[in-house]
Chains A and B, each alone.
Chain A
Amino acid sequence: MIRDLLHEIYSTLRQNKLRTALTGFAVSWGIFLLIALLGAGNGLMNSFSGNVSDFISQSISVEGWRTSKPYNGYKEGRRIDLDQRDLDYTNGSEWQGVIYNVTTTTSSTSANLVLGGKSVSGWFTGAMPEHQDQFKIKMAAGRFLNQDDMHERRKVMVISEAQAKELVSGDVEKLLGRWISAGSIAYRVVGIYHTDERDFRRSCYIPYTTYKGIYDNSDKIESITFSVNGPVTLEDHKAFEEEYGSAIKRIHDIAPDDERGIWIMNGYEENLQMTKASSILSIALWILGLLTLISGIVGVSNIMLITVKERTHEFGIRKAIGAKPGNILTLIISESITITAIFGYAGMLLGMIACQVMDKTVGQQAVDIGFDKIQMLVNPSVGLDTAMEATLLLIIAGTIAGIIPAWKAARVKPIEALRAE
């Protein structure tokens, strides 16, 4: 029966080649734009998330700041330093199961690294082994700090690739295991972290314990960084920050409504906002694409209406010899779906080719944004799921386009249809 139906459709569509082609073009164009837009959008989002994923980590950092309100006998403008009490609270039972992977960093101390006749400036920061994960530090050579470094307060350090390149020419790996003097103390290089061409980070990581022993024997903590397990939505995170922040404020006698006593940087929120931004972009592109497609659907519907009117007499004949309303309905809708599907599919293929062209042209260009180079489009393409959605969309679109004309055709009485010319 399917074959018969296809034959029926073919024989009628072949009657009106030009009309079929024009109608089909509207659909092709709609789908082409939809796919090209979605592909470009995906490319933009890929580049967006690829470019920022280097900076945004899935963690929350807390730092002391300067108060802006007087409270509890203290004047405003007081400098707040985090200390062991904050760390104890963070690690405490109250947040058991929520806060994990707690790390701290010390303040920084400037240093001049000297090797042979060359020197380079830098900042020493005392860090914990978890710091690498928390801040997504990529290693170019060697390793990051480890627990043994911490326990034994080793004099080891991890420097940036940029610094390494200034100290040795050629392969930076040569630096691994070398002792570099910084002031009166020498540190052994255990690792070099990756920095891009234009990334001039100057942080040199040494074990937290080592730093505390040499540069800062107070219990001050520059920052506390941790992961959380529990808050999911933006609202959850806001609530968490509020609760956690007010506890820290109590410890330091900061006014509860003081916005500036402590500073909380929430990487999760930035990620959530980015995800939200990309989904909004995606929705916007779908809407644009669908709107374009609608003009195609209206085109098909319009043509089908004219066709149905022209073919009224034929439907009358068909009904007289036994076609049920359902047969006529099926015929028109199938015709509509066939036009939409075939031309839509062609449009989809062209759209995918356009995505490939974009990848080969715009996708290969990097844009200089000052401190870094970014690619405008990364892998602009649509996935199989989108292709499937688009196919489904075409079938639905075809049905919608055909439904009103088909209904009209099916409803007309055979006697009236036979009279029509």
Chain B
Amino acid sequence: MALIELKDINKTYFGAQPLHVLKGINLSIEQGEFVSIMGASGSGKSTLLNILGILDNYDTGTYTLDGKLIKDLSEKQAADYRNRMIGFIFQSFNLISFKTAVENVELPLYYQGMSRHKRHDLAMEYLDKMGLTDWAGHFPNEMSGGQKQRVAIARALITSPRIILADEPTGALDSKTSVEVMNLLTRLNKEDGMTIIVVTHESGVANQANRIIHIKDGIIGNIEENAKHDAWGAELIK
């Protein structure tokens, strides 16, 4: 069974005017894949990512993550799954401003109840991997965008999750830093076999992935196999 199995996922936002954002999504993602989800704004790609990240729930269908059915979970259960199985990377980094880099990286382990020393050591190890040892004691507002995103990646990785979900990870970065961050994700996928799902509307970013899923108006359009990374727009990144 695939790591992620989505079967006929439907999601409607009930506002003043009901909005049917996901209209029967079927998708399976294998362990170790690097997938990007592309689509225009309002296409439903962010909603899909939120459902994958157990941040939002869906109305009908089934979502299975690592063999576990993710449906009608209690807040507590959802929090536990997010903590242990999913690493998030956000466009706006989402670091806690009054915590230092190392404290931010430690936080997921704090919620696992790990002891102070152990999680500090582990957080330093991950910061070291990101080349940020010297920045451990700094607050987010003292760092550049690229550094902040690397701290966020360290935080996403520290619990050894099953998947990394990245929502426009380069959206707030300049092109040079974007390349660095994407290369980092690629390396994680290749060397550590980490399953990575990136949501983006930049084709250059999407092109880093091995599979590009196009979503439009709440349904999956075509799925490009992109093992050679020669999809449309690949030249933009070069």
Contact = CB atoms under 8 A, between A and B. Distances in A.
A1 B113 contact: yes
A24 to B, nearest CB: 19
Contacts of B96: 314, 317-318
Contacts of A418: 55, 90, 94
Contacts of A322: 79-80, 82-84, 108, 111-112, 159
Interface in B40-95: 50, 53, 55-56, 75-76, 79-80, 82-84, 88, 90, 94-95
Contacts of B84: 322
A325 interface: yes
A4 B112 CA distance: 12
B113 A321 contact: no
Nearest to B56: A415
B108 A414 contact: no
A84 interface: no
Interface in A1-41: 1, 3-4, 11-12, 14-15
Contact of A321 (B98, B111, B116): B111
A418 B96 CA distance: 12
B139 to A, nearest CB: 11
Given A11-B99, A415-B55, A415-B56, A320 B94 contact: yes
A318 B107 contact: yes
A121 B18 CA distance: 105
Contacts of B159: 322
B75 A327 contact: no
Contacts of B75: 324-325
Given A3-B116, A11-B98, A415-B50, A321 B83 contact: yes
A321 B56 contact: no
Nearest to A16: B98
26 contacts: A3-B116, A11-B98, A11-B99, A12-B98, A15-B98, A317-B94, A317-B95, A317-B96, A319-B79, A320-B55, A320-B88, A320-B94, A321-B83, A321-B88, A321-B111, A321-B155, A322-B80, A322-B82, A322-B84, A322-B112, A322-B159, A324-B79, A325-B76, A326-B76, A413-B56, A418-B90
Interface string B102-140: 010001101111001000000000000000000000000
Given A4-B116, A11-B99, A319-B79, A324 B94 contact: no
Contacts of A321: 82-83, 88, 107-108, 111, 155
